[in-house]
Amino acid sequence: MRAGIASVLGNRTYRALFGAQVIALVGTGLLTVALGLLAFELAGAAAGAVLGTALAIKMVAYVGVAPVIAALVHRLPAKAVLVGADLVRLVMAVSLPFVTEVWQIYALIFLLQAASATFTPTFQSLIPAVLPAPDDYTRALSLSRIAYDLEAILSPVLAAALLVLVPFSALFAGTAFGFAGSAVLVLVAAVPRVVSTESSTFWQRLAGGARIFLRTPSLRFVLVANVVVATGVGLVLVNTVMLVKDRAGADDAAVALALAVFGAGSVVAALAVPRAVTRWSVPAAMRAGAVVVTGGLAGGVAAALAPAGSGAAWWGMLVAWLVLGAGTSLIATPTGRLLAEAASPENRSLVFAAQFALSHACYLVTYPIAGWVGAGSVAASAAVLGGLAAGATLALLLISDSGPTPKRRARVTEAGTRIRRTRASSRPR
């Protein structure tokens, strides 16, 4: 299975683009650590509030900027868009060590995340053109998911090793090198250029992605699936510290271990996705993931209700986090297949930008639930998120037609070919 997933790296263009993604992810991971230390240096005890605001700004940039930028750059070459976004991120990263006020952090983070909201959907929409075969594209999606998960595990370790040798401000230089390396790899890649023939206006393109989502059954399926992913990720990212420190009575290192277990579950599931979608289908794999996430959230409730300081709280949380990592990955990893199948080459960037914005909008709902309800009771937080996930999972199970099957697409294509041939033969000569 692993050799099968890695086989897409034989494509030279994809190999360069995947390298760009990995290097940029490492830079982003270093930035996360350095930003926390910078916030503490500027705000002291209020560093948590600064970071919370910065994360909120990040989500606002993701939700609000991605569709606007996609509409603006719709007719520009993808390579120019990717390199431009990397250069903006590089400049912002280089500027961060020189800030002296908290508001400057907010401004630079907004610009940096706006550039990321430009880079990521453009990158994602480009891969189907580089790897048009559905099985190859699925392998690329699995590799991308594994890269994200490994970055979350390894970047803090790399940052800790660097901090032994250099001050935290040097991490911003590492971030800048990451974005510079990403830009170079994109420049040398033979990126295909998709020329749009649409004559729509900016305002029509701005709402175009959302309209496609609303009128396409498979993309409405994706919208509901996004809710399930956000519930699982929201509980883990927001409430892990409370469960580890308050309920399990463990130390800071245990927080990193718990997050690593979540990432490990995601990696294992991502490795299994190509086989799962071949044996079943993309929607079936995503439905299974939704059921798994709902079960993981129920496990989170049980762990939060276990006696404080007990092994049941600790081990119950680790099992729940492993399950949640696997479930969210089963949903998120193959989602790109449904997006690529529902979009045309001309509107693919708009569809991926809409997914980028809409999926992050779900986090604007689940993060506050996890935080505000979890402040009083983590068990209540997990229960509310579990109820939301269960409702969304039920909706996914009840949706009868989430998208055309491969056989059905083949029949439609064959029928369309016959109609075109009939029309051509009947034309007057």
The string of DSSP letters for 215-280 reads H-HHHHHHHHHHHHHHHHHHHHHHHHHHIIIIIS---HHHHHHHHHHHHHHHHHHHHHHHHHHHHS
As a whole number, mean pLDDT of residues 41-66 equals: 73
Asked whether the predicted pLDDT for residue 404 surpasses 50, the reply is no
Across the range 390-399, mean pLDDT stands at 93
**Cα separation of 195 and 74, whole Å?**
9
Equal fold, 1-188 vs 202-429: yes
Return the axis-axis angle of helices 282-305 and 378-398, rounded to nearest 10°.
160
Q: What CA–CA distance (Å, rounded) separates 236 from 370?
A: 9
As a whole number, mean pLDDT of residues 231-250 equals 82
pLDDT classification of 214: cutoffs 50, 70, 90: confident
Mean pLDDT of 314-340: 92
Given a cut of 50, is residue 1 above it in pLDDT? no
Q: Does residue 44 have a pLDDT over 60?
A: yes
Residue 286's pLDDT is what?
Answer: 94
Please say if the pLDDT value at position 195 is more than 60. Answer: no
Q: Are 25 and 147 in contact (CB under 8 A)?
A: yes
Q: Which fold has domain 202-429?
A: Growth Hormone; Chain: A; (1.20.1250)
Mean pLDDT computed over every residue of the chain: 80
pLDDT for residue 406 is more than 60:
no
Alpha-carbon gap, residue 16 to 127, rounded angstroms: 11
Judged on CB neighbours under 10 Å (0-12, 13-18, 19+), 134 is middle
With contact defined as beta carbons under 8 Å apart, do 271 and 325 qualify?
A: no
Residue 201 in tokens: 């206006």
Q: Quickly state the pLDDT bin for 204 (edges 50, 70, 90).
A: low
Quote the percentage of the chain above a pLDDT of 70: 82
pLDDT at 141 over 70: yes
What pLDDT score does 212 carry? 82
* Burial grade of 27 (CB within 10 A; 0-12, 13-18, 19 or more): buried
Identify the CATH class of 1-188: mainly alpha
Q: Would you list the domain boundaries of the chain? A: 1-188, 202-429
Most confident range, picked from 149-158, 289-298, 303-312: 289-298
Please say if the pLDDT value at position 116 is more than 90: no
